[in-house]
Amino acid sequence: MKVFLARNSDEVGSEDCTSIQPFDLNHFFGEDGKIYGYKNLKINVWISAISFHGYADISFDETSDGGKGITDLNTVLQSIFGESLVEKEEFMQTFSKECEYIRDVVTNGSAIKHNGTNESDPAVEIVRVELQGVAAFLYSRLVPLVLLLVEGSTPIDIGEHGWEMLLVVKRTTQESVSKFQLLGFAAVHNFYHYPESNRLRISQILVLPPHQGEGHGLRLLEAINSIAQSENIYDVTIEDPSDYLQYVRSSIDCLRLLTLDPIKPALSAMVSSLKETNLSKRTCSLKMVPPADLTETVRQKLKINKKQFLRCWEILIYLSLDSEDRKSMDNFRACIYDRTKGEILGGATGTNGKRLVQMSSSVNEEVSFAVYWTQEGGDADDQTVEQQPEDLKTQEQQLNELVDNQMEEIVGVAKNVSSRGKDKLADLAAL
């Protein structure tokens, strides 16, 4: 199945149309991810970039039941595209009949002003809308793109109170009429935090394929941070972010943290410890944990939650170290190792009965694992788990693979922060 995004009726069936590359379609087609009963089957799905209706062009030479039945294509397509899938004639008419669709949604919203790092195009703006009425209908039409392009995604419950969308739109003027083109969106949920505040959770962020790589995801994150600060939200969280979204988010937050005055002295103390301590002969771990009062200050001023701040804290420490200083780098990695081991096995000085075992996986067998542990209570003989030398060797290897992956992520974000914030990093050179 091929999926295309068409900006006008002329692009339907044209090679100039933008092709969408879904991450994985197999899980839509039964347990084994296959289509049965068709010879020379072709499925082309066209999605309107104006109204986000869809049309499926299906062709095949013949059908035959080879013992596994004939796949019901309509059921499969309905599970992806729902009611937005229409017949060709109606689909072609949407380009003219619903040309003001996005403008109608934007009219009910409010523009978000923020101090962004990527504001080169004045025609691009971010509009905030409550997820109800016409905006709710728009989201329902965007769900197929979310399912196709965001791995592991599920539609949000738009009937639940507190949902909003931030739309990245580009204003164009044609025949003296203002029109809006949708470039991307974020779905966010404002929910209660005890005792008297709200948290902001980012559920989905999607930039449409023709406009990916243009900085619109960055715009959305910056706008959300601006909302959180201006409305004194408790903090901002993201629901199951992709690796790339986490990369962008951490890059932004590191640059924001560098503007906070209390960061430098706290980093200086941590960097000094890494430079002076010899962790290769350690009997206990050195934890790269920021002061509790700094964690709270970061939450209050920047609305960065604790888990995200700890992630950025390690990146800022790495940026403050001399990459040519082998001792400091070894100490830094040792801290990442101890932290990872503690998170998975319960501490660097003991496993509390936990064991790390390799598991088979269709995704990535080399880095797939599971943790299990014995329960407290019962006879001691029943609760004892003796780890064999081979088990310990495998566990050590898997832990090191996890640490290597985390080091790659830290270095990747650090390079991006360095390229974007050279002026902000100047003060760290003296640490």
Q: Is residue 239 among the annotated active site residues?
A: yes
Cis bond before residue 389 (omega within 30° of 0) = no
Euclidean distance between CA atoms 384 and 368, whole angstroms: 25
- Which of 267, 291, 191 has its CA nearest to residue 234? 191
- Which of 101, 1, 82 has its CA nearest to residue 42? 1
CB 135 within 8 A of CB 101: no
Q: What are the DSSP calls for 131-165, one per residue?
A: SSTHHHHHHHHHHHHHHHHSTT-----TTSTTEEE
CB 421 within 8 A of CB 387: no
3 state DSSP class of 202? strand
Determine which one of 83, 151, 239, 396 is catalytic: 239
3 state DSSP class of 347? coil
Side-chain-side CA neighbours of residue 21 (13 Å): 2
H-helix or E-strand spanning residue 355: strand 354-358
Exposed (0-12), middle (13-18) or buried (19+): which is 314, by Cβ within 10 Å?
buried
Contacts of 405 (CB under 8 A, 6+ apart): 367
53's tokens: 């209706």
CB 353 within 8 A of CB 374: yes
Q: What are the DSSP calls for 14-53, one per residue?
A: -TTSEEE--S--GGGSTTTT---SEES-EEEEEEETTT--
3 state DSSP class of 186? strand
Euclidean distance between CA atoms 255 and 259, whole angstroms: 7
223's tokens: 């706008």
- Which positions are catalytic? 239
